[in-house]
Amino acid sequence: MDITAYIRYNQSDQTRLERIMYYVPVPLYRKNVSIRRGECIKNSAYEGNKQIFYMEFSHTSCLCPQCHTRTSRIKDYRQQEILLAWLDDVPVYASFHKRRYVCPTCGHSFYPATPLVQPYQRRSQRQQLAMIRECARKQSFTDIANRFHLSVTTILRYFDCISYSKPATLPAILSLDEFRGNAPGQKHQVVVVDPARKTVLDILPQRDTQQLIHYFATYPYAMRKTVNYVVMDSSALFRLVAQHMFPNAVIICDKYHIVRQVIWAMENVRKRIQPPWDHHRLYFKHNKKILTKPGCNLTNDELVCLQEILAQSDELRKAYALKECFLQYYRCPQKQSARYFLRFWLDLVQASGLAEFKSLLHSFTDWFDGIINAIRLHYSNGFMEGHNNKIKVLKRVCFSIRNFHRFRNRILFMDAATHSKRGTSHLNVPLTQRSLF
Prediction pTM value: 0.75
Residue 310, pLDDT score: 85
Mean pLDDT of 47-53: 84
Q: Are 237 and 209 in contact (CB under 8 A)?
A: yes
Per-position DSSP letters for 360-387, written without gaps between them: HHHHHHHTHHHHHHHHHH---SHHHHHH
Mean pLDDT of 174-198: 86
> Between residues 296 and 277, which one has the greater pLDDT?
296
Measured CA to CA, the distance from residue 400 to residue 394 in angstroms comes to 8
Burial of 42 (0-12, 13-18, 19+ CB in 10 A): middle
Q: Which residues of 168-194 are buried (b: 16+ CB within 10 A; e: fewer)?
A: eebbebbbbbbbebbbeebeebbbbbb
Residue 421, pLDDT score: 58
Q: Report the first-to-last Cα separation within the chain, whole angstroms.
A: 31
Residue 309: how many CB atoms within 10 A of its CB?
21
Residue 277, pLDDT score: 66
**Residue 117 — very low, low, confident or very high, per pLDDT cuts 50/70/90?**
confident
pLDDT at 281 over 70: no
Residue 91, pLDDT score: 87
The backbone region for 35, taken as left when phi is positive above 0, alpha when psi lies in -120 to 50, beta otherwise, is beta
Residue 333, pLDDT score: 62
Query: What pLDDT, in 10s, does the model give residues 14-31?
Result: 444 454 444 343 333 333
Task: Name the average pLDDT for the chain.
Answer: 80
Measured CA to CA, the distance from residue 336 to residue 119 in angstroms comes to 67
Measured CA to CA, the distance from residue 13 to residue 197 in angstroms comes to 40
Measured CA to CA, the distance from residue 377 to residue 330 in angstroms comes to 11
> Between residues 186 and 235, which one has the greater pLDDT?
235
pLDDT at 347 over 60: yes
Give the pairing type, strands 41-47 and 199-204: unpaired
What's the gap between Cα 328 and its chain centre? 35
Query: What pLDDT, in 10s, does the model give residues 62-73?
Result: 888 888 888 888
Q: Provide CB contacts within 8 A for 89, sequence distance 6+.
A: none
> Between residues 276 and 345, which one has the greater pLDDT?
345
Residue 5 dihedral angles phi and psi, to the nearest 5°: -65, -20
Residue 374, pLDDT score: 86
- Counting every residue written for the chain, the total comes to 437
**Residue 251 — very low, low, confident or very high, per pLDDT cuts 50/70/90?**
very high
Task: Report the C-alpha dihedral over residues 175, 176, 182, 185, rounded to 10 degrees.
Answer: 160
Per-position DSSP letters for 33-46, written without gaps between them: B---TTSSEEEEEE
> Between residues 47 and 30, which one has the greater pLDDT?
47
For the ranges 191-200, 238-247, 281-290, 368-377, the lowest mean pLDDT is seen at 281-290
Mean pLDDT of 429-435: 37
